[in-house]
Structure 1
Amino acid sequence: AGRVALLGAVLLCLWCRAAAERVRYAIPEELGIGSLGGPLARDLGLGADELPARKLRLSEEKQYFTVNEENGNLYVNERLDREEMCGESATCSVSFEALVHNPLNVFHVEVVIEDVNDNSPSFRKAVLELEIGEWIIPGARFPLEMARDEDAGSNSLVTYKLTSNPSFSLLMKESPDGSKQPELVLEKALDREEISFELVLTAVDGGEPARSGAVQVRINVTDANDNPPVFSKSLYEARVAENLSVGSPVLRVRATDVDAGSNGRVSYSFGNVPDSIHALFTVDSNSGEIRTAGPLDFEEKNKYIFGLEATDGGGLTAHCKAQIDITDENDNAPEITILSLSSPVPEDAPAGTVVALLKVRDRDSGENGQVSCELSGEAPLSIVASSGGSYKVVTASALDREQAWEHRVTVVARDRGRPALWSSTELVLEVSDVNDNAPVFEEAAYSAYVAENNAAGALVLRVQARDADAGANGRVSYWLAGGSAGAAGAAPLVSVEARSGALYAQRSLDYEQCREFAVAVRAQDGGAPARSSTATVRVFVLDRNDNAPRV
């Protein structure tokens, strides 16, 4: 019930449209699957009655979210764990495109994942062992292990507490990265007879409510080893290129201990660091040299800050920080994703019609990640940059299916690295037919000669018309459209077969009654609306010697 109340209170309908093609929401992590992310359709200006025709959908590669086809709302579709998704990054968001059709358009959507205090501070060790000589004077400081909290902002680690003991107190030392290093302060000289002390160090974060983690601090009183190791720097820095081969040296830390023998012998190790640091770096316990243990990827993370410890043979420990900055190499070619392709497109589509939406991204940074796109190939198409790395392919001029029923172009994306990397993908656009051509007769006027006394049904002439359109738009049928005696008058003399255009004599012709006549034949296609043209057929009746002289 508390979680439900929290969701209702914390869910933010924060959205903004800084540009007509951008929408932004902010929601807390760990929202349950099916929880509302935002009223996407409403914020894109789409009404409920428009949704069936506009076909709103998402293009995200990993389906953290889904959109409801009926109401257009954005809903959580997978677990949202900020720490898993973004690690130690100060900000965390998921970006994707929302596509609509009729007309085709793309909108950039960003969902900010806000941190929830769902992680407690933790220590690497269950027990911290310290050895303090009985001759150590009050005021001496002993660095303690720092706790780690995977949350961000105010939910991350804030302060420490130590169980009360008159011999010890706790102070905080500001580290170079802004974190607080707990230090144990000796308040009064120790007595060897006391042998040991058992304290508890508690780390408390700044969440609401706060979370905490604790570690036992065991202090052994000794009669030797009166000097702890001392690092030459509190912060060691290095800058290396990504893709550095595994085993390459990165930097070397150095600590000295003025004690003699084993008490002055220093060994090096990592402090309380996450597993990801162990996967990428190693530290030589004898030399303090840090080397790569795994591949460094600038696009994954460009800076690492972690703690190191130097421990002498008597158990005294010193702490320092290492900061390793990763520089970018142009090791990623641009990636082209076809978000939507409207194919076929009608040939009467006006210039500027959007026929394809593309997403182009380059995981590199700076000039290595700046991309330009162009079309290669002969086609009446052009490419236009949109927001957020999106591109629109639009018609640059009128299309004509009768000239070209298909257009093939190559989209080439090239970054500005040196040397530049590029990638390409082919777009195949089919052009659908529109009934924009009327049938055309092979001849504008036909002449036919028929001897009188012909048999009924005899072939007089065959006319033919061609239509450049396709399908029903190019299917031609023939009809009588009229004649010298009108359509009704001509009809008894000839007929036309609708499919073939053949004209047949309906009855025997008599030269002495009709020496010639003309009919108009209409060729009509099957388009909607239909287109037609006409041709004139003039029929001449030839005389036969079929009459005897009369006296």
Structure 2
Amino acid sequence: TVINDIVLESDHKRRHWYYIVSGNDNGLFSINDNGQLFVTSQLNISLQTVYFDLTVLIHDGLQEYYCQTQIQIIKTRTWNNFVCPKNTFEWSINEEVPLDTVIGSIMPNLIEANNVSRNNHLNMKQINDLAMTLSGKDSYPFKIDQQTGVLSVIDRLDYETQATYLFNILLNPRNNEPLINLNCNLTLLLHLFNINDNIPQFQLDSLQLTVNENNRYPLYIGRVKASDADDKNDHHLNYYLLNNTNSDILVDKTTGSIILFKTYDRELISIEHFLIMVQDNNSNESLNSTGILTINVNDLNDQPPIFDKQMYEMNISETTKLDSVVLQVVASSRDPVSNGNITYSIINNNSNISYFKIDSNTGMIKLIKPLDYEHEKYISFIVEAIEENMSQNIQNTTQTIVHIYILDENDNYPHFFEHYDCELNENLLSQNICTINAFDQDNGNYLTYHLEDPNNNFNITLNGTIYNLKMFDYELDEIEQNVTVIVSDNGQPISHNSTFNITIHIKNLNDNSPQFEKKALTLIYFSYPSVNTTLYNFSGMCMSLAIGEGKNLLLLLIK
């Protein structure tokens, strides 16, 4: 038995040789080339030495290493002659037995395997000192008595949940000898006997059968099904119709097939119920259950579908987002039971169809193209509903008209006309310098005007007429006055504004007298000048005229 591994930690991978150089006086131990320390002879209770201090030499061909290991011999009662039964215990018991029901005992097998009556080295007391433990996931419904080795039931056993249990019984000395491991595992295989304890049950969906009206007969319309947990294959079940006084419907006793011997008219009978029973064939005690067999009569699809409205009308905003659902059309079958698949389509072959698409299954109409009230105020198209029954090879259609009214939204900014000539004479308070005009593509908006002037020299009426609050002097003030006009469309829920910069030109008036540079002038000549001689050049200046306009002055000699 290997009792220890001697390992030399080294960076190189050379071969190592191991030797016990001291402490092995009795020659009980040896070590192999893998560093495994093992026992070479039987350890018995008569040993005088119980502690061994071994020195081990390790050589790798270049260097020598030493290590010490201590071994303690624990003296205890010998179990060497104990015989562990090797055969598998295979027992059987009925399912659903009461709790604490005894299944069997392993004690007779232990006594027989160890030949207690004739073996002098092992007696009954040693067997009684065994600790018995159940091991394995299948052991949870059982317990074992430590004194008698009796296995009993502590939880429900259901054949339909689990039919066999496989687990182990571990045998070891009791707590006073904790270091002894007998390595004795008894394998136990337990089989459950199935008993007739489950009532057969119908599969509920098999009790719902359908048939088209005006059917021919005899006609197979389906098969009722049942299952029995006690019979995995359901081979031993019989079916019976109860309280059936006529022969219009029959059930096959073995297969559960339902056969009709009559024709249904849905206008007279739309649904019919029958009491049916299933019974197992257990020879001891049969169990049964009942269910309601329902036969539903299908109506043939002979009427076109009908829309819930003769005409659909809807108001939507021009700002509706793309892929929004704007309307749902709904059509239903005129037959008592809708037996066709109704699909929808838009059939108009014009440009309006490009604004919308329809879900063929739900009738949801979605917007796929942006709306513009200023471009399109009203859209109409036709929706067709098709009810198709492939099994009956029937298709019925109907149509309805959809009117979509586009609601105008304040989605456009007001615009100014391109050019304005605004002029103001000096020295004048004017009520109408110029009128600003703007336009808005949105319908119904009322435009109002505001003016921004940092000098507060101008203002504007609500209808766009600019007027001045100050009289200007061409010779003293700036002749170009810049203002900003703001127009608001007063729309709801959001008002949009636009701005326009305007220059007002101040016009000059002849409001100033010309002035001589000098008030008086004396000319002195010391001789008579000749005719047409220039005596003096008068330079006049008019305060109200721009530079260069002095040549237009008329000079008169008045005295």
TM > 0.5 fold call: no
Give the TM-score of the pair, scaled to structure 2.
0.38
Larger Rg: 2
Higher relative contact order (CA 8 A, sep 6+): 1
Higher helix share: 1
Give the TM-score of the pair, scaled to structure 1.
0.38
